[in-house]
Chains A and B, each alone.
Chain A
Amino acid sequence: MSERVFGVLLLLLSAAGLVIGWDLRAPVSYEPVGPRAFPLLVFVLIGACALALVFFRRGPTRWAPPAVLGRVGGLFVVVLLYALLFDKLGFIVSTTLMCLPLARLFGASWKQALGAGACMGVALFILFDRVLDVALPAGQWLKPILG
């Protein structure tokens, strides 16, 4: 069932890709194959595979139990928020905040989670930003303090 739903989504994707791709034309062309041929070919093939997914019966997909799926969704949201706040809050603070719920999801106690978060934020910042020379965001509010 899941695969059929996914097949329908792919079919929509392929249709959208074809509609958008149809208008991709070069103003001046020097070669026989323009910019739209390859993407259109890819989207036609995606459509064909989508039809195969919709119409051929396959084994059922084994989803995790709802409780676990909820936790997986939670993890995804935490990482997404981390991505959003990464350069606004700065690496140290955002990493600490990300660690806390993630460590809890994997069975840490509050104390362990907080400790892990704070240590990881500071240690990774020093490792990457200072030792390995990979520039990380310090965060708008920390700038005056760190210089």
Chain B
Amino acid sequence: METITHLMEGFAVAGTPTNLAIAAIGAFLGTVIGLLPGLGPINGVAILLPIAYAMKLPPESALILLAAVYAGCEVGGRISAILINVPGDAGAVMTTMDGYPMARKGLAGPALSLSAFASFSGSMVAVVGIVLFAPLLAEWALAFGPAEYFALMVLALSCLGGLVGDSLVKAMVCVLLGLMLSTVGIDSNSGVYRYTFDLLHLADGIPFIVVVIGLFAVSELMLMLENAHSGAAPVSLSGRLMFNAQEFALAKWTMLRCSVTGFFVGVLPGAGASIASAMCYASERRMAGKDHCFGEGDPRGVAAPEAANNASAYGSLIPMLTLGVPGSGTTAVMIGALTLYNITPGPTLFQDQPVVVWGLIASLAIASVMLLAMNIPLIRVFVKFLAIPNWLLVPGVAAISLVGVYAVHGTTFDLILGTLLGGVGYLLRVMNFPMAPFILGFVLGDMMEQNLRRALSISNGELDILFSSPVSIGLWIGALAMLVGPRVAAALRSRHAGEPQPV
């Protein structure tokens, strides 16, 4: 009952004309950012966060903007996947498999509208899931002490390390580099200057926005120059735009199944939209039996990844809202947004900031409806954005990114630091070092250190306290399993490589 009251309050917050307008703008911009190959949700959120902050939006409006952009990106990624066979973001990789063949068959319109509807169903299932589970999880986590917290953050970081990228060592390096950058500045407990090299600008620590823009905007521009794809002409959007009853009937259970699966995969820290959509695509293909044309333009092959993709993107907000521990790069940036506004993320968020939390949840539902409304009739407008040439896009992104960094402190120092971090980010990304653990380490670094020190203060320096409660022991075991598990599974799989593999 209480939940429903809160939800109504949330709709009251999200339903004010300003916040509705912000959600609509965010959903539109998000779709555009999502459909542009190269720019994905994390870049979009990273570029818009400093601007929202500089515009002095109140925290709930800023989060609504970021959430709408996030939702929009997940929807927008399918447009380029279907029309030019280039996924607009990581979650849309699987959408190319059947989306592009459908477009080649002259079914671009139905592919786009069916995938928009699948996205919508994924979003709605996930919003219901958030409303049902998030308050419960937050309540349970309220009993966490500093030792449990420290273990929880280790678990979150190892989830990402275990699941992202091609090697554990590389993910670990990135986590550690993020933690390293987070220690720069005055130590709040003792007042000691750490790694500031007598630079006044570093005394307060490295601003979060500088790291995010450097790693995700500047380095992205350098990669775009490297991967400049030869602007394949989009398949023209002719014929009917709406899917018909037959296509819907074929895909309806697929959508529902993938929405639910996607949501639960998204809740796990580290397992993001790309894992969810790949998993659902594979299982739907297997379930279809002989009677399918997956890979040649099966409507289910478009519906499955898109439903999973959106559901998991929303699901990944749960660990962020309830535990204060982001499960993905994008939610890590959103946690950073909370800290910019001096809001401490964690289980107390539901009690201390009900306006922010429930406003965000309600606005996700509103943004999803808006996205559905925009993406079917206005699809031709979005398709036009595919024609933006990189020579216009790249300088624009560079300028807007630096505006955001400059808006924080108004110093050239931050701009230069951000650019240098972008250079480092480029080198790391070329060597296949994943960036999400880096930003997660940076965001969690301060909280980890504080909780570790608090726990050890309680126990007067005895390390036992870290492993003293059943919850923390469970979390440590979970962390170990996430680090070792995927490797063991891979080793077992390669031993059975001789046997036929289910596809």
Contact = CB atoms under 8 A, between A and B. Distances in A.
A124 B225 CA distance: 23
Interface in A88-114: 88, 91, 95, 98-99, 102-108, 112-113
B192 A75 contact: no
B172 A39 contact: no
Given A33-B456, A72-B222, A132-B51, A106 B419 contact: no
A80 B416 contact: yes
- Secondary structure of the A contact surface, majority rule: helix
Task: Pick from A46, A62, A76, A132 the residue with the most CB of B within 10 Å.
Answer: A76
The size bracket of the interface on B is: 35 or more
B192 A35 contact: yes
A106 B390 contact: yes
Contacts of A106: 225, 228, 389-391, 394
Contacts of B448: 38
B453 A31 contact: yes
Contacts of A99: 395, 399
Contacts of A120: 395-396, 399
B177 interface: yes
Contacts of B406: 86-87, 136-137
Task: Pick from A32, A37, A106, A135 the residue with the most CB of B within 10 Å.
Answer: A106
Contact of A26 (B190, B400, B432): B190
A98 B398 contact: yes
Contact of B169 (A29, A52, A63, A84): A52
B491 to A, nearest CB: 16
A130 interface: no
B419 A83 contact: yes
B268 to A, nearest CB: 24
Contacts of A3: 431
Interface stretch (B64-72, B286-294, B321-329, B407-415): B407-415
Interface in B194-240: 194-195, 218, 221-222, 225-226, 228
B461 A32 contact: yes
B187 interface: yes
Interface residues of A, number: 73
Interface stretch (B355-363, B422-430, B474-482): B422-430
Interface string B170-200: 0011001101100100010111101100000
Nearest to B413: A83
Given A106-B389, A107-B390, A135-B410, A79 B431 contact: no
Nearest to A2: B431
Given A31-B453, A64-B226, A134-B403, A43 B180 contact: yes
Nearest to B457: A31
A39 B460 contact: no
Contact of A75 (B172, B222, B452, B461): B222
A32 to B, nearest CB: 3
Given A102-B394, A103-B391, A106-B389, A86 B402 contact: yes
Nearest to A109: B391
A83 B418 contact: yes
A12 interface: no
B422 A42 contact: no
B169 A56 contact: yes
A64 B466 CA distance: 46
Interface string B291-332: 000000000000000000000000000000000000000000
Interface in A18-60: 20-21, 24-27, 29, 31-39, 42-43, 45-46, 49-50, 52-53, 56, 58
B189 A31 contact: yes
A145 interface: no
A64 B427 CA distance: 11
B332 to A, nearest CB: 18
Task: Pick from A46, A113, A124 the residue with the most CB of B within 10 Å.
Answer: A46
Given A64-B226, A86-B415, A26 B403 contact: no
Nearest to A26: B190
A70 to B, nearest CB: 10
A29 B449 CA distance: 16
A128 B51 CA distance: 9
B469 interface: no
21 contacts: A32-B460, A33-B453, A33-B457, A36-B194, A37-B453, A58-B167, A82-B398, A82-B402, A83-B412, A86-B402, A98-B399, A99-B399, A107-B389, A107-B390, A112-B391, A120-B395, A124-B403, A128-B51, A128-B403, A132-B55, A134-B54
Given A79-B419, A107-B228, 11 more contacts: A31-B456, A32-B456, A35-B194, A39-B195, A45-B176, A62-B430, A79-B398, A83-B418, A86-B412, A87-B412, A108-B391
For the complex of A and B, 4 pairs with smallest distance between CB atoms: A32-B461, A26-B190, A83-B415, A108-B391
Interface of B: 51, 54-56, 167, 169, 172-173, 176-177, 179-180, 183, 187, 189-192, 194-195, 218, 221-222, 225-226, 228, 389-392, 394-396, 398-400, 402-403, 406-407, 410, 412, 415-416, 418-420, 422-423, 426-427, 430-432, 448-449, 452-453, 456-457, 460-461
Interface of A: 2-3, 6, 10, 17, 20-21, 24-27, 29, 31-39, 42-43, 45-46, 49-50, 52-53, 56, 58, 61-64, 68, 71-72, 75-76, 79-80, 82-84, 86-88, 91, 95, 98-99, 102-108, 112-113, 116-117, 120-121, 124, 128, 132-137
